[in-house]
Amino acid sequence: MTGHPDLTPILRGAELPPAARRELLAHLQSCPACRAALVEDDTSALFSLLALEPVPDTVLARVSRGVADGIARESRRVSTRRATAIGSLAAALLLAAVLGVYLRSRNGAPADPPIPGKLVEVELETPAGPQGGQPAGFFEVLDSPGSADVVSLSIEEVDLVMIFDEELGI
């Protein structure tokens, strides 16, 4: 057949360079005779012509835009989580310092000692203002062996267990 490409590579399932393959498929789409030769033994070979469907530019542009938006969203989410975690840790450490002072001062003071196992709500003043209404966290005295107090402090995602011991000065 004159004017028709050699179909042997594609008929034998050879792996063609992309440009050569596209050229061959483009010919097959327009030439019924060559198409008939292609599907001589296997009609499913017709589906290889689906490689000719172009990807609309609008689709490509939407993918790029969507990816940029998605990455920006993820970046903001990671920054927010990180800021929240750092803020919570800072608040927890601040409260721990205050609590340490409180527990030391109660020794010998007439104030009621904290009861092991009882949860105590704490409120915090933050740069944004006092977090009234909702407790910022809880502290709980887990145990008080001797001169020490073992305290659990929970603020948002941060959990601390601390030991205060007046004799040891910690």
Partner 1 sequence: MRDEGELIRAAADGDVESVNELVRRKREQVVRIAYQITGDWEDAVDVSQGVFVRLWKGLGRYDPARRFDTWLYRITVNAAIDLVRRRGPRGSHQPLPEGASEPEAVSRTESALDLAELRRAFVALSAQLAPKQRIAFVLREIEGLETAKVARIMKVTESTVRNHILQARRSLRAGLEREYPGLVPVARRARGRGEDVES
- Output phi, psi for 80, to 5 deg: -65, -45
d(CA 88, CA 98): 15
110 binds partner 1 (CB under 8 A): no
Least CB distance from residue 81 to partner 1, whole Å? Answer: 14
CB 141 within 8 A of CB 149: yes
Q: Is 60 in the site for partner 1 (CB under 8 A)?
A: yes
* Minimum gap (Å) between residue 15 Cβ and partner 1: 5
- What is the nearest approach in angstroms of partner 1 to the Cβ of residue 80? 16
Would residue 107 be called left, alpha or beta, if left means φ above 0 and alpha means ψ between -120 and 50 degrees?
A: beta
Please count the other Cβ atoms lying within 10 Å of the Cβ belonging to residue 141. 20
Region near partner 1 per CB under 8 A, out of 11-19, 88-96, 100-108, 136-144: 11-19
Binding-site string for partner 1 from residue 73 to residue 92, where x marks contact by CB under 8 A and - marks none: -x------------------
Q: Which is nearer to partner 1, 27 or 104 (CB)?
A: 27
* 9 three-class SS: helix
Within residues 14-53, the interface with partner 1 by CB under 8 A covers: 15-16, 18, 21, 28-30, 32, 35-36, 39-40, 42-53
Q: What is the Cα–Cα distance from 110 to 108, expressed in whole angstroms?
A: 7
Whether 14 and 6 have beta carbons less than 8 Å apart is answered as: no
Residues that bind partner 1 (CB under 8 A): 15-16, 18, 21, 28-30, 32, 35-36, 39-40, 42-53, 55-56, 59-60, 62-64, 66-68, 70-71, 74
